[in-house]
Amino acid sequence: YQCSQHDHLIDVESGKVVEFCDPRINEIIRTACELNNFIPHYHSLYIYGEFKDSKR
């Protein structure tokens, strides 16, 4: 993806962090801000969980 903003998946067991970019997230933020007459400065998205293939 060609994004200026990226987001994070964080494995709570291993601490592994994967950065990802999905333009749909920026579109959702843009729409929400427009509907609420809000000017965004920045956003951060951290999703905590575990990868399905993680060994415990």
- Kindly report the CATH number assigned to the domain that includes residue 27: 3.30.1490.190
DSSP secondary structure string for all residues of 1-53: ---S--EEEEETTT--EEEE--HHHHHHHHHHHHHTT--------EEEE--TT
Number of structural domains found in the chain: 1
CA distances 45 to 3, 11, 23, 40, 48, Å, are: 14, 14, 13, 14, 10
Asked whether residue 54 carries a pLDDT value surpassing 70, the answer given is no
In a domain, 25, yes or no: yes
CA distance 9 to 47: 5
In a domain, 14, yes or no: yes
Q: Is 23 domain-assigned?
A: yes
Residue 45 domain boundaries: 7-49
pLDDT in tens, 20-44: 999 999 999 999 999 999 999 999 9
User: Would you say the pTM of this structure is higher than 0.85?
Assistant: no
Assess if residue 31 is contained within a domain: yes
